[in-house]
Structure 1
Amino acid sequence: MITPLQPGDKIAIIATARLISHEEIAAAIDILKGWGLEVEVGPTVGAQYGVFAGDDALRLQDLQQALDCPDIKAIICARGGYGTTRILDQVDFSHFQNHPKWVVGFSDITSLLCHIHSLGIESVHGIMPLLFPKGTEEALESLRRVLFGENLSYSSAPHTFNRTGIAEGQLIGGNLALLHNVSGTSSDFTTKGKILFLEDVDEYLYSIDRMMVHLDRAGKLKDLAGLIVGHFSDMKDNAIPFGKDAYEIIAEHTGKYDYPVCYGFPTGHEPDNLALVCGRRAKLEVEENGASLEYVYSV
């Protein structure tokens, strides 16, 4: 069990993927300090190696140090993009397994969250410092509540594609492209009896279809307890249209199963990106008037 944060705790902001400047996280630092936290910024912030926040060695070193340092009580990844999977197999998680702490991120950071889930440790899929200025008050407050161990529940508006029902199981998921990317690796995840959530951005619709076909062929859709479909933002199409949007594609590939499904849940690449605790047991209720998600036990 991860110890909730307390005022005065030190947290680290690091960049495991795309480059980011100090100026781009300045607003987030102010917000985090406003929560009573001490913020340490890793050397990857402000570093550059091509499109990355420093070369693989620097990003690995920054992540490893943050995982191992006993003074650092939580790690918040500065942004996504691409690059986290390049260093994952070189990370030593042994100290982290004995002394777990919150690791926060989404998008490209999904691969790290999946790897942490494979170790039996919770993590947070939530808004990152780059996007703090654009995030809704609800998104930021949900992250604060999770980090500080406060109870939290979520609701979602009704959607035409919703499939009603009640599901209970561990919550796991994130960016569809990264879930597809880690399949068959040491960061892979099992979905049987779990509530899976999906989101994505800037993908071609045929690619969404291809990744959903892969998840289904890999057996990751058939034994779910439930499915949550978040934001699929800025989808692209070819000159000859694919013929379905992202939600229609997902509905097609999950239509043969009977677990509850919630569409339009506020998670993903939009300002309203609510913090979700990966690995925590949750209860999903999908009704005609909308959906709700809550954790089964109090923190």
Structure 2
Amino acid sequence: MIKQPPYLKKGDKIAIVCPAKKLPKPIDHAIGILESWGLEVIIGESVYASHHQFAGTDKLRTHDIQRFLDDSSIKAIICGRGGYGTIRIIDELDFTEFEQNPKWFIGFSDVTILLSHIIAQTRIQCMHAQMPYTFEESTPEALSSLKKTLFGDKPSYQYSSEFTNRSGLVKGILIGGNLTLIAMVQGSVSEMDFDHKILFLEDVGEQEYSIDRMLRMLKRAGKLKNLNGLIIGAFNEIKEEKISFGQTAEQVIWDIVKEYDYPVCFNFPTGHIDNNLSMVLGAEVELTIDKNKVQFKYL
């Protein structure tokens, strides 16, 4: 059983931290939005810290996150941005108090390391969603999905896929995140259990061969064969290679999973896009997939 943290209510405290790269711009806009939801926003020391490309030293970032993991008055922790750096501090964090007093942990991209670790080690639900750095460019739908989920009104999603799906109706526990970071934690204590789960994947700025290589690694490790379903989010800003790989990201993925019989949908609105809809890792969901239509809801 994967535990669900308490939903937020007006007046609750939410902390912002930066576990990886430093912020290149202020996030006053995002703070204002969170405050408009009735939340008290606490700014972590890492938010405006700087150490080379990182949001402060590894020690500072670790201490900052640990402070809020241990503080029972903080009801949610949202990461300011991703980038790179979370893997440098994950093994220094102690989740003992967090397990005793679960709270929502929110982020995406490089934060996938933390989300995966929380699911694997604490079995507490967490959230793949927009971060303050991306609030300004976010669609109203994506921000609304974050607010609704935090306050206990989990939204359902419907959309049309441009790439042909493999149809089916399936239920299961949702896991997933950024493909690169999921690949990076394999073989470690931060590795999620994939069996009989609904997996969602997204990535940005990769080349087709790299997507192919990471997915084939997961396939060879047996991570893709026993899924209940597969959700493919945005694979965008793909870097052009000098010699064409000959397949789009979607074609690469389909080639690797077409031998399995579980439902697969493409172009799901999650990832490094403006319409990055909130996804609760560890929640039970139902996925209804037709050729080009997809419905997603929490159970």
TM-score w.r.t. length of structure 2? 0.97
**Mean Cα displacement is larger for which, 170-179 or 283-292?**
283-292
**Letter of the structure 2 residue corresponding to residue 66 of structure 1:** F
- Mapped to 2, the partners of 1:26 and 1:110 lie a distance apart of 24
Match of 1:290 in 2: 293
**Letter of the structure 2 residue corresponding to residue 114 of structure 1:** S
1:159 and 1:290 in contact (8 A); partners too = no
Match of 1:233 in 2: 236
- Mapped to 1, the partners of 2:55 and 2:151 lie a distance apart of 28
Alpha-carbon deviations, 1:156-187, whole Å to 9, x = none? Answer: 21333300001111000000000000111110
- Stretches of 4+ aligned residues off by more than 6 angstroms: none
Q: 2:53 aligns with which of 28, 51, 55?
A: 51
Match of 1:258 in 2: 261
2:168 and 2:290 in contact (8 A); partners too = yes
1:170 and 1:194 in contact (8 A); partners too = yes
Deviation at 1:204, TM superposition (A): 1.5
1:3 counterpart SS class = coil
1:161 and 1:251 in contact (8 A); partners too = no
- Mapped to 2, the partners of 1:227 and 1:200 lie a distance apart of 15
1:159 and 1:262 in contact (8 A); partners too = no
Match of 1:37 in 2: 39
Match of 1:100 in 2: 102
What residue ranges of structure 1 are gaps of 5+ in the alignment? none
2:161 and 2:268 in contact (8 A); partners too = no
Q: 2:277 aligns with which of 250, 274, 277?
A: 274
- Mapped to 1, the partners of 2:240 and 2:226 lie a distance apart of 31
- Mapped to 1, the partners of 2:206 and 2:246 lie a distance apart of 15
Match of 1:114 in 2: 116
Match of 1:181 in 2: 184
Give RMSD over aligned pairs.
0.9
2:163 and 2:250 in contact (8 A); partners too = no
2:155 and 2:297 in contact (8 A); partners too = yes
Deviation at 1:289, TM superposition (A): 4.8
> How many equivalent residue pairs?
295
What residue ranges of structure 2 are gaps of 5+ in the alignment? none
Once the two structures are superposed, the pairs formed by residues 149-164 of structure 1 within 5 Å of their partners are: 149-164=152-167
How many percent identity over aligned positions? 48
- Mapped to 1, the partners of 2:298 and 2:132 lie a distance apart of 25
- Mapped to 1, the partners of 2:291 and 2:210 lie a distance apart of 31
- Mapped to 2, the partners of 1:220 and 1:13 lie a distance apart of 33
Match of 1:134 in 2: 137
